[in-house]
Amino acid sequence: MLSDIEIANAAELRPITQVAQEELGIDAVHLVPYGHHKAKVDLGYLQSLEDRPLGKLVLMTAMSPTPAGEGKTTTTVGLADALRGLGLRSMACLREPSMGPVFGMKGGAAGGGWAQVVPMTDINLHFTGDFAAIAAANNLLAALVDNHLQHGNALGIDVRSVDWKRVLDLNDRALRDVVVGLGGLVNGYPRQDGFDIVVASELMAIFCLTESWADLKRRIGDIVVGDTREKRPVTARELEADGAMAVLLRDALAPNLVQTLEHTPAFVHGGPFANIAHGCSSVIATRAALRLADYVVTEAGFGADLGAEKFVDIKCRKSGLRPDAAVVVATVRALKFHGGVDVPDLGRDDIGAVERGMENLERHLRNVREVYGIPCVVALNRFPTDTDAEVARVVELVDGLGVRTHPATHFVDGGFGATELAKGVLDLLESSGPSTFSFTYPDGLPLKEKAETLAHRLYGASSVTWDGKAKRRLDRLEADGYGGLPVCVAKTQYSFSTDATLRGAPTGHDLHVREVRLSAGAGFVVLVCGDVMTMPGLPATPAASRIDLLDDGTIVGLS
Amino acid sequence: MLSDIEIANAAELRPITQVAQEELGIDAVHLVPYGHHKAKVDLGYLQSLEDRPLGKLVLMTAMSPTPAGEGKTTTTVGLADALRGLGLRSMACLREPSMGPVFGMKGGAAGGGWAQVVPMTDINLHFTGDFAAIAAANNLLAALVDNHLQHGNALGIDVRSVDWKRVLDLNDRALRDVVVGLGGLVNGYPRQDGFDIVVASELMAIFCLTESWADLKRRIGDIVVGDTREKRPVTARELEADGAMAVLLRDALAPNLVQTLEHTPAFVHGGPFANIAHGCSSVIATRAALRLADYVVTEAGFGADLGAEKFVDIKCRKSGLRPDAAVVVATVRALKFHGGVDVPDLGRDDIGAVERGMENLERHLRNVREVYGIPCVVALNRFPTDTDAEVARVVELVDGLGVRTHPATHFVDGGFGATELAKGVLDLLESSGPSTFSFTYPDGLPLKEKAETLAHRLYGASSVTWDGKAKRRLDRLEADGYGGLPVCVAKTQYSFSTDATLRGAPTGHDLHVREVRLSAGAGFVVLVCGDVMTMPGLPATPAASRIDLLDDGTIVGLS
């Protein structure tokens, strides 16, 4: 089979103006083109659609993944293509890739095989400049903080408390832990600091939760950069940074329209981490898609314990968006993984392992249906090594839970390979009664009890414990009036627990909260459980060394 | 008079496709649009124009400036507009603004008054993403260097010798002097480091001197990031960084087309510092403009001792471009400044100071005509405080040197205010004989003698001295085979000497070279004379605090 970039480079793309007009009825005058195959859709135009009825929103989530991922993005693309193939007006809403993994190890994130969004190289590199804009705004705030300290510190910021980091869209381990402000009087006050990758910035989360320019500026103003010596939070608004930062994000806030290999329109907009942030593409894009299309498929990060939970408890809670159905992506490989098989052996026939691993999928399905109250089907994303017997066994076992499974081959067959999945989703939407959608916990619950609710209802944990410092921070946040915010758990995606080696559906474990962070602008409290890497490193042989530009401008080696 | 942004926001822009078609005969299919008023022109299309005759190239330079600048950008725009007003096919080629000054103190750099390129806010902010691309490629190389050290250091790089800095497009003094790689084994080797502003990156200079994708990759490969322990230079090519870095700059390399307020087409592309780099917009843009228009006006940085010299000895030497004429911008204010008047008093009538300050302009004119061999006129950029007597005296004195002076009022009158200047330039072009263009020194001269030639021929210095370390570095560069490169002097723009307080036309001074740096990819050796700031700081009240985004998306406060 061809590589992703070979498929993408050979694809015949339609002009984005044509996709917009023919598929969505958007006139070219409402587009802000970035080349001939990418465009932002004007925010004013999108606002004019507010009276249109909403399409159906389908959430793409997954069982706990293997390190390679189970194909949520390809399944999102495949399903949107399949729905369009059935003559329906569909759209995909995806996250923008970060350049860190592109030049590091994992590669791009525009789908794969015959289920991609294109132009693939553009999307995986600078795209429309959104991430650069977010980085610029983030770093302007950091510079303004240090500049405020330098020029007299009128707000009385405690230099030790500053925790607004600078960001780059790059894997660069040398920047994780740095000292800035060296070199004497003119260079400011030395302090220990660090850089994150741009997708880990609170500003990325703000960007993806915001509703309008005014809302963007308000949220930015609410960002807390540190405390005064009297322990009063200091905001970006007090530093007079909110206006300039909003200006830097003005154009980026309009959603990016591209197409799949099969010309299905897709918004690719925003991409926050799924651990210290909520891991979903932008509210603006989802909302716009629901006015423009009848069926909108959007993905959340990691497994359903993390991504779907945050989609529900953060994105839906804050925006009023409601999913009509969910698709839980499973693979025979991941089932074997949770059945105790290690990565090198996942391609071997092992129906017993598949059966043992079902408990992981089963708990995710229970959470999606019974906790979030979203009707769902399973998409079994097929790999070449899957045997028919293994696939049949999965279908049978999931059937026993009252859930339909649809094997899908979009990776090799494009949208056609997800046709049965699409029909299954349509059946589900048709047969579902009134919405049973529900948050995992109410706003009013204290932060501590929110964490306990997630631990008990979703993760199978029997206790939640706190580092002393984390607990003190939590108490202070309650006292400072942030207790009504939702929580955002940062933990490993490989397990329901905080221990990546506890596969399957562990119970009786302890959720230990190591650190508590406030994302006041985004509007959530991050509970860091275990190690969270917010600035990845490059491997010994980075992908960058294989990526090349030919004399005729062709890009090769991107994956 | 309205502010720059008020004028720009009220301007009626033509679609860039229309400007391209009507003014330059470029079909829309050869444009890569960025919104409706900015476009990159396809490099393949530009290559297809190679057989067309060249237009006339007019270099805009200036006398030694006051801190406020003498209006080279506005005069470039005004002259291009005036030429078009005379029915001629003209273009301007300008540098892209950095966001550092926009949020700092100086403000934007898209011209001013009624001589601006538009859309002004776009050009002053992210524009088409070129600077973000250069920053990303620059920082990828930095990450690859530290990553190479981390994973065994097969090339044997001496960690103390690494001098490839990271960059941001921001004024951020806290990043000038930092320590990276703290935090233990997984974060790499701690070392002292620093950040520059993106316009100070060697990669920006490379970008502006490059001819094609292949040339770009070759130049990037030549970048020296440090030495081995045996003092052998280590290149980006050896780190396998060149391909990925070129990929990041692929799209950026196509020149950006915009328009002036009067719809004259302009390329705004690249913008290296004029001290540690050569301070000119891209060769690709200049070359393309000369195929597309009959008259191309382009500016060089600072005064004619720095910007024009580097235009001649670096940009022209490397590209084969040749200016047909030069315009030296002078102001009554700058003449008074060099006649000994301080900034607050420059608005006062003082014809004696104007006369005393003439020696500065006189030396610049001599250099341009006799050293560079470029026929020239003076553009006297008029300010409201200039008296008619002062202006008449300048015209008279310059006339005595055999050079015509053309007072110009484009700032308040647009292109119409530069009509006499345009006619003067046309007369000059018509009356000039065969080209007498000449470099200041030949390639083959040793680096040390190149510096001495500049010092004696241009600056009026009587000696060149070297810090011990600088001299040793120079000798090593000669020994390593870099002796054939041109030199790039980084010194104050306010004086012919290295002492900013020595105004007028000082003689007998010493040019002291404090530091020698190699820009092997750009292809020059930097001679640092005096303090050079490559990462500016923010002032006590940064412009950022006045810049704001209104609820309807209007940007205010940008200057």
Question: Residue A106: which pLDDT band, with cuts at 50, 70 and 90?
Answer: confident
Q: Can you read off the two tokens belonging to residue B88?
A: 């001629």
Nearest to A145 by CA among A201, A188, A200, A198: A188
DSSP 8-state code for residue B96? P
Residue A1, pLDDT score: 82
Contacts of B243 in chain A (CB under 8 A): 544-549, 557
Contacts of B133 in chain A (CB under 8 A): 126
d(C-alpha B343, C-alpha B353), whole Å: 13
Sequential DSSP letters for B406-445 = EEE-HHHHGGGGGHHHHHHHHHHHHH--S-----SS-TTS
Residue B270, pLDDT score: 98
Question: Which of A43, A170, A553 lies nearest to residue B213, judging by beta carbons?
Answer: A553
Mutation to test the B interface, candidates A131, A177, A535, most B Cβ within 10 Å: A177
Contacts of A136 in chain B (CB under 8 A): 99, 126, 132, 169-170
**Which residues in chain B show pLDDT less than 50?**
none
Residue A551 CB neighbours (<10 A): 10
Is B67 annotated as a binding-site member? yes
Residue B109, pLDDT score: 84
Tens-place pLDDT, residues A486-515 = 999 999 999 999 999 999 999 999 999 999
Tens-place pLDDT, residues A202-256 = 999 999 999 999 999 999 999 999 999 999 999 999 999 999 999 999 999 999 9
User: Which residues make beta-bridge pairs with A259?
Assistant: A118, A265
Query: How far does A140 lie from chain B, in Å, by closest CA?
Result: 7
Mutation to test the A interface, candidates B178, B237, B551, most A Cβ within 10 Å: B178
Q: Can you read off the two tokens belonging to residue A195?
A: 């850089």
Residue A161 exposed, middle or buried by CB count within 10 Å (0-12, 13-18, 19+): middle
Residue A302, pLDDT score: 93
Residue of A nearest to B138 (CA): A170
Residue of B nearest to A254 (CA): B553
Binding residues of A for ATP: 66-73
Whether B247 and A212 lie within 8 Å, measured CB to CB: no
Residue A282 exposed, middle or buried by CB count within 10 Å (0-12, 13-18, 19+): buried
Sequential DSSP letters for A494-548 = S-SSS-TT--S---SEEEEE-EEEEETTTTEEEEE-S---SS----SS-GGGT-E
In one-letter notation, the amino acid at residue B558 is: L
Whether B188 and A178 lie within 8 Å, measured CB to CB: no
Whether B180 and A180 lie within 8 Å, measured CB to CB: no
The radius of gyration of chain A from alpha carbons, rounded to an integer in Å, stands at 23
pTM: 0.97
Contacts of B126 in chain A (CB under 8 A): 129, 132-133, 136, 248, 251
Residue A384, pLDDT score: 92
For residue A380, how many C-alpha atoms fall within 13 Å in the half-sphere facing its CB?
26
Whether A549 and B217 lie within 8 Å, measured CB to CB: yes
Q: Tell me the backbone φ, ψ of residue A375, rounded to 5 degrees.
A: -65, 145
Contacts of B178 in chain A (CB under 8 A): 178-182
Is B415 annotated as a binding-site member? no
Query: How far does B240 lie from chain A, in Å, by closest CA?
Result: 5
Tens-place pLDDT, residues A120-159 = 999 999 999 999 999 999 999 999 999 999 999 999 999 9
Question: Residue A350: which pLDDT band, with cuts at 50, 70 and 90?
Answer: very high
Q: Please, which residues have CB within 8 angstroms of residue B304's CB and are 6 or more apart in sequence?
A: B61, B62, B63, B326, B328, B364, B367, B368
Whether B183 and A169 lie within 8 Å, measured CB to CB: no
Question: Which of B178, B251, B545 lies nearest to residue A178, judging by beta carbons?
Answer: B178
Contacts of B129 in chain A (CB under 8 A): 126, 129, 132
Whether A150 and B170 lie within 8 Å, measured CB to CB: no
How far, CA to CA in Å, does A465 sit from each of A442, A448, A455, A469, A497? 21, 10, 11, 12, 13
> What is the average pLDDT across A476-481?
95
Residue of A nearest to B129 (CA): A129
Residue of A nearest to B151 (CA): A540
Nearest to A487 by CA among A554, A442, A530: A442
Is B299 annotated as a binding-site member? no
Interface contacts (A, B; CB < 8 Å): 229
Whether B547 and A151 lie within 8 Å, measured CB to CB: no
- What burial letters (b/e) apply to B411-444, b meaning 16+ CB within 10 Å? bebbbebbbbbbebbbebeeeeeeeeeebbbeee
Question: Nearest 10 degrees: CA dihedral of B273, B278, B281, B286?
Answer: 180
Q: Is A457 helix (H, G, I), strand (E, B) or coil?
A: helix
Q: Please, which residues have CB within 8 angstroms of residue B368's CB and are 6 or more apart in sequence?
A: B61, B304, B308, B326, B328, B374, B376
Sequential DSSP letters for B22-51 = HHH---GGGEEEBSSS-EEEPHHHHHTTTT
Q: Can you read off the two tokens belonging to residue B229?
A: 């322990």
Tens-place pLDDT, residues A53-97 = 999 999 999 999 998 889 999 999 999 999 999 999 999 999 999
Q: Is B276 helix (H, G, I), strand (E, B) or coil?
A: coil
d(C-alpha A459, C-alpha A305), whole Å: 7
HEC secondary structure over B394-416: HHHHHHCCCCCEEEECHHHHHHH
Residue B467 CB neighbours (<10 A): 14
Residue of A nearest to B536 (CA): A187
Query: How far does B133 lie from chain A, in Å, by closest CA?
Result: 7
Nearest to B197 by CA among B271, B258, B261: B271
Residue of A nearest to B181 (CA): A174
Residue A217, pLDDT score: 98
Question: Which of A168, A172, A180 lies nearest to residue B174, judging by beta carbons?
Answer: A180
Residue of B nearest to A121 (CA): B247
Whether A146 and B174 lie within 8 Å, measured CB to CB: yes
Question: Nearest 10 degrees: CA dihedral of B151, A174, B219, B98?
Answer: 170
Sequential DSSP letters for B477-524 = HHHTT-TTSPEEEE--SS-SSS-TT--S---S-EEEE-EEEEETTTTE
Residue B550, pLDDT score: 97
Mutation to test the A interface, candidates B167, B182, B552, most A Cβ within 10 Å: B182
Whether A178 and B174 lie within 8 Å, measured CB to CB: no
> What is the average pLDDT across A270-275?
94
Is B106 annotated as a binding-site member? no
End-to-end Cα distance, chain A? 14
Residue A155 exposed, middle or buried by CB count within 10 Å (0-12, 13-18, 19+): middle
